Chain A
Amino acid sequence: MPAFKTLPLKIQAMMVSILILIAALGVWELSITANSGSSGELTEYERLTGGGAPKAGVPPPSKVFVKAWEQLSNPFYDAGPNDKGIGIQLGYSIYRVLTGYFLAAAIAIPLGFLIGMSPLMYKALDPFIQILKPISPLAWMPLALFVIQDSQASAIFVIFICSIWPMLINTAFGVAGVRKDWVNVARTHELSPIKTAFLVILPAAAPTILTGMRISIGIAWLVIVAAEMLVGGTGIGYYVWNEWNNLDLTSVIFSILMIGLVGMALDAVFAFAQRAVAFNE
């Protein structure tokens, strides 16, 4: 195909992506329609999950599309605690993620600044950070539930605790690594500490800080699904779990896709911010 090769790489890649998508959906669709006709021995799994009722089977993509259309044409309906639109569920999750995340940022960035500026604090706080950082955020859940006594706030706390480390570490690292020449520029111009922080240190460390913020938002979005499965009530994590209990796999697959899309959107926002503060030396 000589014509294909003359197209810009971007377009070529897009065409290949679409081909892969069509192929994957096609295989998926065909394999399920082929299977659904065969009624044989029930597997042990099918017996356990409801005796192979048609509802329990993996749905074909066409069904998922119909579901998506249904849900997305009315995303904010609210028909009781167990029947809310996908928009409302995602809204709850995003609200929790952003609340926990920005609380973490409000603490991590100033604290990271302090740690980065002071070699003493850097060394003194390092062991604590090293021990606390590898703890799975969900391990905090029982403690949070007990201390806070509120499942909503506990979910937010778990987001807080999981997003604080990358931001704290990157801020400290970025601030400590600001080139000495730039600090000397501030010194020779007798800039006040505040002026130095905002004119020199912050812009110099901003790319590293934003990398930390981007990692954090990614982790927060990963963790919220699991946290909501645990605490229940509302949110996309709860929704997935609830639909699984209803054996509505079409909704499960649809919500998995939505989780991916929202995660991608959150990441894109931070990628944009990252480009905005980047500088060339």
Chain B
Amino acid sequence: MSNGFLSIEALAKRFPAQNGEGEPLTVFENVNFRIERGEFVCIVGHSGCGKSTIMNVLAGLDEATEGVVIMNGKEVKGPSLDRGVVFQNYSLLPWLSALRNVTFAVEARNRAWTKEQVRAHSYKYLELVGLTGGAEHRKPAQLSGGMRQRVSIARAFAIQPELLLLDEPFGALDALTRGTIQDELLKIWQGTDQTVFMITHDVDEAIYLADRVLLMTNGPYARVAESVEVGIPRPRARDEIVEHPNYYKVRNHLVHFLARRSKEMAGREHATPTGRPETVSFDDPEKERPAPPQAALYAITR
């Protein structure tokens, strides 16, 4: 079942010590995980553990100190249109209209297209996020936070990247707008075989959107400790998923991790030799209690 679409191997990021004195800062080390084509994966972890850094390495905007990222059998070196990025602060170009913010990206992707093709394609995606009817001609500063985020999502999807990287895309939005845009995101994603890797701080958002949630321990020496399978079938209805037997199991697991174990498992000394995250799945009663070393930790937190 593994198609080995994206593989992150022994990734580490270290920053040299301030003024050349003291220890260098190791943000994370020995980070290993895989993502299959078409998967929707969320990553959660406390602030400063290195999520954005990992994402920037995946995007090719930043370089890891050690380790490699392999996508489609090729090492990731530098940015590429195959990987679309939605930054936390939207990163729209403020001097261009919403429409131009999308069309320049579509032009970059499809250099042979005519103006009409570019326009039609851009409109298609702006429509998907409900941003037509005049709003597309406004500058980002004249749009609300939610509208700006929609433009940047439309832009990222319009270039049809194989991998979509989202860094806390809904962090700044109110709950209502957030819900609407989450649904729009799912709607676009489900119609494609695109893969999504998303950073979030919101446990409910992760469960609603993701196939799998990666859990990062606190830094320094952070690592991806667990990979939790959500196991709730799609399409998911917001009001129905809470009825699913997995929902509260997964939710409790994530909340416990963030509240206690992300700290308890932090540090080099708790790292497993392989560096692979422990798979946690609630579908199979056999697996409900993870492997023995983890069980000991459970005893502490439950």
Interface residues of A (CB under 8 A from B): 181-182, 184-185, 187-191, 195, 199-200, 203-204, 206, 277, 279-281
Contacts and interface: CB of A to CB of B under 8 A. Distances in A.
10 contacts: A184-B61, A187-B78, A188-B61, A188-B81, A195-B108, A199-B104, A206-B95, A280-B141, A280-B142, A281-B141
Interface string B199-220: 0000000000000000000000
Given A279-B139, A279-B141, A188 B93 contact: no
A280 B94 contact: yes
Main secondary structure of the interface of B (DSSP, over half): loop
Interface stretch (B6-14, B82-90, B115-123, B267-275): B82-90
A63 to B, nearest CB: 52
Contact of A187 (B61, B96, B105): B61
Given A188-B61, A189-B104, A203 B93 contact: yes
Interface of B: 59-61, 78-81, 83-85, 87, 89, 91, 93-96, 104-105, 108-109, 139-142, 159
A281 B93 CA distance: 9
B93 A189 contact: no
Contacts of A281: 94, 140-141
A189 B91 contact: no
A24 B61 CA distance: 64
Nearest to A191: B108
Main secondary structure of the interface of A (DSSP, over half): helix
Given A181-B91, A190-B79, A279-B95, 15 more contacts: A182-B93, A184-B61, A187-B79, A188-B59, A188-B83, A189-B81, A189-B104, A189-B108, A190-B80, A190-B108, A199-B104, A203-B93, A203-B95, A279-B94, A281-B94
A188 B85 contact: yes
A55 B59 CA distance: 79
Nearest to B84: A188
Nearest to B109: A189
Contacts of A280: 94, 139, 141-142
Nearest to B89: A181
Contacts of A277: 95
Contacts of B87: 181, 184
